[in-house]
Structure 1
Amino acid sequence: MAVHTIDRARVRREAGATVRLALPLIVAQLSAMAPNAIDAILAGHFSAHVQAAVVTGTSIWVLALVLALGTMMSVSPTVSQLDGAQRRGEIGAIFHQALWIAWILGAALWFASRNATPLMTAFGVVPSLHDDVEAFLHAISWAAPALTTYFALRGLSEGLSMPMPSMYFSIGGLFVLAPLGYVLVYGKLGFPPMGARGTGIATAVAIWAEMIGFGIYVLTHRAYRDINLRQRFAMPRWSKIAPLLHIGVPMAITLLMEAGMFVGVALLIGRLGETVAASHQIALNVASMSFMVPLGLSMAITVRVGNAVGRKDAAGVRYAGFCGIGLVVAVQLVAVALMLGLPHGIAAIYSNNPAVIAMAAHLLLFAGMFQFSDGIQVASNSCLRGLKDTRVPMAITLVAYWVIGMPIGWYLGFPRGLGAPGMWIGLIAGLTAAAALLFGRFYRVARRASWTSAT
């Protein structure tokens, strides 16, 4: 294969376009993390019992959220490829089929969230929490159809390289959640105190508000007029739905593999005592917040790669992918510097317990070590998603997280007696394996691309 020379001007243009697209997505992702924090804070000031119930219920709800997000991730690359190919008139019909997926999936997640007792038993949730966890899940379950529809709308808008609405409505939802949650949890304005149920109701109302606002925006804004959203709404067509599921289902499984690894680690570490568990949660929360930056960048990378595929621009695929991965590595330098340089200061923000701060600071050193791996794996996977390559990445993550990461973590943490640090070494091993394999996969696919490159 011929050696590809690097066009520095094109690198700058591509990096600039990716950053402009990514900034609103990063804000949207950080805003999407905020409801969990708001729920935990509201519940924590109500009682420790309610806080434990809400945190437990949120952990179960996150599994539903991940399934919804992963499945609906098929919308963005599909739309971006049609947009890049100048076939915008076909987008409305595809989006209508995506809505059928969203509504059926939303109904299934509503049912699953209301019947989560076996899952609580498997997680080892103490019986005294069951009633409040169920109250939270029963309330928030009503948000499931709105959540899946919201993700479809978000995929449509981001696939059209319009990320600002995602940011607007994610932030807007917080202005609904915080005051409504306060009223319902503590019983203000004539309402009785609802505790855990109140946080679930408030979160569900906020998600519905976001979805309705986003839907009105898409239907009325002139930027969406030429994609034929208002044409006659079609009944489900398997020929259109199957390609979306072909992309989305592997993505949902991929996200479940990663989320499941972190949930599994948390459950195992929970056996080591309250101090260790609290320290782990602090380090994990910091790592999760940090991850929102490369995740937002990666969503932009998917769109940029998808646009290049639609133009049949092989060089554009390579520039979009490798520039995006380079940007992720650059921003992760900041996360690494903070976690390795200020671990005690960061831990002290979350706790005033010296033992918890010391252990959390120690675990933050491990979190700092996997920042590059975590960034590269999500960016490489997003490049492949832009190419609609999702099945091999699904297999890669299964091996990396559950054949490499979890066994190593369990072995070092328990038989070898390293405890929480051993489990975090397992996380490093799993994420590093995923990063190497996913990057290698994109490198090979991108090098083989042979369409006529656009100038």
Structure 2
Amino acid sequence: MYQTNSLKQKLKLFIYIFFPILITQVSLNLMTFFDTVMSGQAGAEDLAGVAIGSSLWVPVFTGINGILLAITPIIAHLLGAKEDQSISQKVQQAIYLSIGLAVVILLIGFILLDPVLQMMSLEANVNHIAKYYLITLGTGIIPLFIFNTLRSFIDALGQTRISMVIILIALPINILFNYMFIFGKLGVPAYGGIGAGIATALTYWVTCVIAFLILARMHPFRGYSLFTKWVKPKVTDWLEQLKIGVPIGFAIFFETSIFAAVTLLMSTYNTNTIAAHQAAMNFASLLYMIPLSVGIALTITVGYEVGAKRMHDAKIYGLLGISGGIFIALFNGAILYIFREGVAGLYNSDPDLIHLTVQFIGFAIVFQVADAFAAPIQGALRGYKDVNMTLVIALVSYWVIGLPTGWGLANFTSLEPFGYWVGIIVGLSAGAIALLGRLMFIQKKYRKEMMDSSAS
């Protein structure tokens, strides 16, 4: 990271940070994408089982990842304030916290997995696949959480290309493991959808090891001595990260869990409906990685400028990101519309399932517009360390407005399963409008504080 003095310099730096993040996020999402697509090729039951398992796992993972992501604005602020000497300790404490959170999630999963699956009206084989997909995937949670902490540190330094390289190495490894464990190749038994969980867990271990090696041996990371001068666990540092990270995590959880809740509510429909819904949602989630990457880049750039008390520069970065989000929304909608039948065909060859998936994709075109607008704003707010109101906005827009609307439309109109998607559209649109208002308020607040400080 470095200071910029013109719009051209800001755009150049933002693009330099953004594109590696985009490739990283897309590649990470491609792991789930290939889990789903390759499981679908094994059979509709495997696709449905992985869909249910993913719907339970993704909200938990993204919520916890929000806590881990808090280290990014913390490090960005320290860099902006020229307090590099504190960075190593903050990262080590974040690693301790990530391990603790992983253990907690594993314990909760051990207690609740069977009861939660039994609450759903799943076919026996779908239930079995979902359960053991999650169990096998769970063996990679600890290295996954550690890696995401290390990656947040790497990105905060502006070295987003390193994260990109790690994930680009891991992606083909994940595809190879999927090929082996789903279809039973290279001397490995065929596990179907469960094999996707095994493959993903093994990939998590690979990425963690690669990240450790890079941070220990490469410049500029080696200079921080992250793994040679360990400090003892310090609760105050954990609380600092949790103070920022918990609201971020819950905000992300409320957003992602509405999609999981919809999938679970749709478990009352037949296997083809669940599979088509998941296929459409899976591809739309892949496109969402673009605005999400804009948001992460804004957290880094805005956080750096706020740490240096250059509020005007922080605002300009925010405007750049939001403008990009609007363009991306239109681009994503066009991609989904033009290639909707081809996308549906990636997941299954059954004509009826393809037709149903195309219908779901039509609704995805609309809701991703609001999502693409909101994600950059959320990233900018995290750069200001403004996270509590984002949590409230997420809770109200998704769970108080969106999900009840979808449930009502699904159960009391002819929309049926598509009603849930209309509810998602309503919730996301309400959230995007509220987030924009919050960002404008925060920028005005900081501008006033700077003017008052200058006057005094």
User: TM-score, normalised to structure 2's length?
Assistant: 0.90
Question: Aligned partners of 1:189, 1:317: CA distance in 2, in Å?
Answer: 52
Q: Map Cα deviations across residues 9-55 of structure 1 (whole Å, 9 max, x no partner).
A: 83333233222211111111111112223333443444544444333
Fraction of identical pairs, as percent: 27
- 1:99 and 2:73 correspond: no
Partner of 1:266: 263
- 1:279 and 2:273 correspond: no
Match 1:66 to one of 32, 57, 62: 62
Aligned residues of 1:98 and 1:152 also touching (Cα < 8 A): yes
Aligned residues of 1:75 and 1:95 also touching (Cα < 8 A): yes
- 1:376 and 2:368 correspond: no
Partner of 1:403: 400
Cα 1:389/1:217, change in 2 over 3 Å: same
Partner of 1:77: 73
- CA RMSD between the two structures: 2.3
Q: Map Cα deviations across residues 137-163 of structure 1 (whole Å, 9 max, x no partner).
A: 222211111011011001000111111
Partner of 1:164: 161
Match 1:419 to one of 416, 419, 423: 416
Q: Which moved more, 1:322-331 or 1:265-274?
A: 265-274
Q: Given residue 363 of structure 2, which amino acid in structure 1 is its aligned partner?
A: F
Deviation at 1:209, TM superposition (A): 0.7
Cα 1:203/1:238, change in 2 over 3 Å: same
Cα 1:125/1:71, change in 2 over 3 Å: farther
Partner of 1:317: 314
Q: What SS does the corresponding residue of 2:412 show, helix, strand or coil?
A: coil
Match 1:34 to one of 9, 30, 35: 30
Question: Aligned partners of 1:143, 1:113: CA distance in 2, in Å?
Answer: 13
In the TM superposition, 1:285-296 aligns within 5 A as 285-296=282-293
Question: Aligned partners of 2:198, 2:65: CA distance in 1, in Å?
Answer: 21
Aligned residues of 2:63 and 2:253 also touching (Cα < 8 A): yes
Q: Which moved more, 1:189-198 or 1:10-19?
A: 189-198
Partner of 2:214: 217
Q: Map Cα deviations across residues 319-367 of structure 1 (whole Å, 9 max, x no partner).
A: 1112111111112221122334554454455455554444433433332
Aligned residues of 1:405 and 1:428 also touching (Cα < 8 A): yes
User: TM-score, normalised to structure 1's length?
Assistant: 0.90
Q: Given residue 378 of structure 1, which amino acid in structure 2 is its aligned partner?
A: A
Q: Map Cα deviations across residues 356-397 of structure 1 (whole Å, 9 max, x no partner).
A: 444433433332223331112111111111111111100110
- 1:367 and 2:364 correspond: yes
Aligned residues of 1:61 and 1:113 also touching (Cα < 8 A): no
Partner of 1:6: none
Match 1:199 to one of 196, 199, 208: 196
Q: Given residue 136 of structure 1, which amino acid in structure 2 is its aligned partner?
A: Y
Q: Map Cα deviations across residues 162-221 of structure 1 (whole Å, 9 max, x no partner).
A: 111221111211232222333334444444444444332222111111011011101111
Q: Which moved more, 1:128-137 or 1:365-374?
A: 128-137
Q: Which moved more, 1:338-347 or 1:159-168?
A: 338-347
Q: Which moved more, 1:415-424 or 1:347-356?
A: 347-356
Partner of 1:5: none
Question: Aligned partners of 1:203, 1:104: CA distance in 2, in Å?
Answer: 21
Question: Aligned partners of 1:404, 1:273: CA distance in 2, in Å?
Answer: 27
In the TM superposition, 1:432-447 aligns within 5 A as 432-447=429-444
Aligned residues of 1:19 and 1:297 also touching (Cα < 8 A): no
Aligned residues of 1:114 and 1:137 also touching (Cα < 8 A): no
Q: Which moved more, 1:39-48 or 1:239-248?
A: 39-48
Aligned residues of 1:313 and 1:452 also touching (Cα < 8 A): no
Q: Give unmatched runs, 5+ long, in structure 1.
A: 1-8
Aligned residues of 2:30 and 2:286 also touching (Cα < 8 A): no
Q: What SS does the corresponding residue of 1:370 show, helix, strand or coil?
A: helix
Deviation at 1:94, TM superposition (A): 0.6
Q: What SS does the corresponding residue of 1:66 show, helix, strand or coil?
A: helix
Question: Aligned partners of 1:347, 1:203: CA distance in 2, in Å?
Answer: 23
Question: Aligned partners of 1:388, 1:24: CA distance in 2, in Å?
Answer: 23
Partner of 1:136: 133
